[in-house]
């Protein structure tokens, strides 16, 4: 029977730390502000943005929402980003992805000032992550690392397998595990005999976006299983990339969906925004 890695509990701990830091900064005359851009009316994006705004309010971070119509042009969006880059009251800028198909996500990410890129997607910040000299980390991988630390799960010397190679989760996740002395394998859609790799994992991170993709026969007994998936099963119920019912009896630790990795992502966004405010005010 696996121990549950409770993202709600860990994120509450992180949020309390963030709130205390925000209060301390306010006493020094340094308010913390986050600008959130949303383009169009994607329901999932709207839910994410609302959750981020609520989390900011609870932590004492001022949030500004810029809700743009779906027909917004690339030029209009880039002009807004440039305005926010120059706005001193905005410490962090987050552009909710995905954007409508006619907009160039790469160009928008590249336009955000690296020191305000609290998602850590800008090439400058990605480069800093590669060499282990960073201010910000992508929110989901950093949240996972925070959870592993909270539960005293040692990474050094462990076989770590990441399923997925996205720029948002898979690649940075692998780098963070490597920096903590894990022996890391990245698997993806072209990997041959995927299960042979996953069965060797002491720590297994699933980030593929396919419901119940990881089954019990793919998991080593006693493995730590991290489920990044936010999927819907055949009944429309929220689920992860891992077959929780099958894998949980076999694992030593496992994250549930919901209530695992998701809350950590938002907690790390708050943490990154505070770091940005400190940096911009010469406090780091």
Beta bridge partners of 4: 254
For the domain made up of 28-114, the CATH class stated in words is: alpha beta
Alpha-carbon torsion, ordered 202, 205, 133, 156, to 10 deg: -10
Torsions phi, psi of 211, nearest 5? -55, 130
pLDDT value of position 64: 97
Catalytic residue among 3, 8, 74, 96: 96
Contacts (Cβ under 8 Å, ≥6 apart) of 253: 2, 3, 4, 5, 151, 153, 224, 225
Active site residue 96: yes
Active-site annotation holder among 17, 19, 41, 52:
52
Sign of CA dihedral 157, 159, 160, 164: positive
Integer Cα distance of 49 and 23 in angstroms:
23
What does the buried/exposed string (b/e) look like for 150-185 if buried means 16 or more CB atoms within 10 Å of the residue's CB?
beebebeebbbbbbbbbebbbbbbbbbbebeebbbb
pTM: 0.95
Active site residue 133: no
pLDDT truncated to tens, each residue of the chain (284 aa)? 899 999 999 999 999 999 999 999 999 999 999 999 999 999 989 999 999 999 999 999 999 999 999 999 999 999 999 999 999 999 999 999 999 999 999 999 999 999 999 999 999 999 999 999 998 899 999 999 999 999 999 999 999 999 999 999 999 999 999 999 999 999 999 999 999 999 999 999 999 999 999 999 999 999 999 999 999 988 889 999 999 999 999 999 999 999 999 999 999 999 999 999 999 999 98
Q: Give CA–CA dist 88/82, Å, rounded.
A: 12
Which ranges in the chain belong to alpha helices (H)? Answer: 7-27, 43-59, 74-85, 105-111, 123-131, 139-150, 170-179, 194-198, 244-247, 261-280
Same fold, 28-114 and 139-261: yes
Integer CA distances (angstroms), 266 to 7, 179, 238, in order = 11, 23, 18
CA distance 170 to 166: 5
What pLDDT score does 192 carry?
97
Write out the two tokens for 259: 């209530």
Domain 139-261, CATH homologous superfamily name and number: NAD(P)-binding Rossmann-like Domain (3.40.50.720)
233 is known as an active-site residue:
no
Choosing from 117, 119, 227, 241, which is the catalytic residue? 119
Tokens 């706005």 -> residue: 87
Task: Report the sign of the C-alpha dihedral through residues 65, 15, 227, 138, in that order.
Answer: positive
- Give me the residue spans of the domains in the chain: 28-114, 139-261
Cis peptide bond prior to 258, omega within 30° of 0 = yes
């Amino acid at each position: 029977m696996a121990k549950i890695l409770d993202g709600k509990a860990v994120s509450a701990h992180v949020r309390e730390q963030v709130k205390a830091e925000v209060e301390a900064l306010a006493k020094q005359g340094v308010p913390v502000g986050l600008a959130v851009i949303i383009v169009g009316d994607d329901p999932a994006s709207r839910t994410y943005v609302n959750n981020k705004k609520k989390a900011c309010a609870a932590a004492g971070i001022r949030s500004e929402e810029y809700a743009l119509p779906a027909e917004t042009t690339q030029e209009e969006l880039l002009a807004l980003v440039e305005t926010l880059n120059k706005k001193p009251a905005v410490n962090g800028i987050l552009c909710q992805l995905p954007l409508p198909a006619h907009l160039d996500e790469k160009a928008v990410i590249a336009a955000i000032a690296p020191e305000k890129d609290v998602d850590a997607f800008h090439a400058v910040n990605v480069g800093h992550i590669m060499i282990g000299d960073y201010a910000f980390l992508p929110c989901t991988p950093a949240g996972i690392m925070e959870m592993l630390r909270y539960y005293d799960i040692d990474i050094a010397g462990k076989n770590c397998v990441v399923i997925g190679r996205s720029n948002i989760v898979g690649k940075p996740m692998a780098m963070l595990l490597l920096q903590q002395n894990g022996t890391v394998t990245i698997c993806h859609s072209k990997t041959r005999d995927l299960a042979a790799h996953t069965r060797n994992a002491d720590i297994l991170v699933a980030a593929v976006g396919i419901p119940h993709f990881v089954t019990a026969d793919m998991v080593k007994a006693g493995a730590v299983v991290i489920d990044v998936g936010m999927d819907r099963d055949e009944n429309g119920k929220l689920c992860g990339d891992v077959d929780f019912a099958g894998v949980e009896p076999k694992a030593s630790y496992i994250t549930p969906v919901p209530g695992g990795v998701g809350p950590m992502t938002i907690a790390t966004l708050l943490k990154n925004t505070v770091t940005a405010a400190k940096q911009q005010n010469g406090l780091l």
